[in-house]
């Protein structure tokens, strides 16, 4: 079983739609959680950290469920510029970042 699992997608949504991605992780001792965004042929960039109480940054909302070892990312009012691959990231046993395979989002006009 992979340490971090994501649906690879692609998720094809129209502009203005709300879309949600989920991610599960296997290490119950993981302490830090993030969502990264990666554009085609570019490096991953930190989108937001994920906190136990849930957190919001503009149109983006991240949730963490430690009991179920589950992380989510909700994007409201999707923009064409949101098209990218979204990587779920958790810390592993050595406290280093372990990346999921990513979920590809395509926002259509």
Partner 1 sequence: DAGVIQSPRHEVTEMGQEVTLRCKPISGHNSLFWYRQTMMRGLELLIYFNNNVPIDDSGMPEDRFSAKMPNASFSTLKIQPSEPRDSAVYFCASSSRPDSSYGYTFGSGTRLTVV
Which helix or strand (DSSP H or E) is residue 3 part of? none
CA distances from 97 to 31, 55, 100 (A): 10, 20, 10
Q: Which of residues 2-41 bind partner 1 (CB under 8 A)?
A: 31-32, 34, 36
Q: 78 or 100: whose CB is closer to partner 1?
A: 100
Q: Output helix, strand, coil percentages for the chain, rounded to the nearest 5.
A: 5, 55, 45
Q: Which tokens belong to 103?
A: 């979920």
- The window from 15-23, 51-59, 63-71, 95-103 that contacts partner 1 (CB under 8 A) reads 95-103
| Residue whose CB is less far from partner 1, 50 or 78 | 50
Look up residue 75 and give its two tokens: 């994007």
Pick one of 12, 18, 65, 95: the residue that binds partner 1 (CB under 8 A).
95
Binding stretches for partner 1 (CB under 8 A): 31-32, 34, 36, 42-46, 49, 87, 89, 91, 94-102
């Amino acid at each position: 079983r992979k340490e971090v699992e994501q649906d690879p997608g692609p998720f094809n949504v129209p502009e203005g739609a709300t879309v949600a991605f989920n991610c599960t992780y296997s290490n119950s001792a993981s302490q830090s959680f993030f969502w990264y965004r990666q554009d085609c042929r570019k490096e991953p960039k930190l989108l937001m950290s994920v906190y136990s109480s849930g957190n919001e940054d503009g149109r983006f909302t991240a949730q963490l469920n430690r009991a179920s070892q589950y992380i989510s990312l909700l994007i409201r009012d999707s923009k064409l510029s949101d098209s990218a691959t979204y990587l779920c990231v958790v810390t592993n046993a050595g406290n280093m970042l372990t990346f999921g395979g990513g979920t590809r989002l395509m926002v259509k006009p």
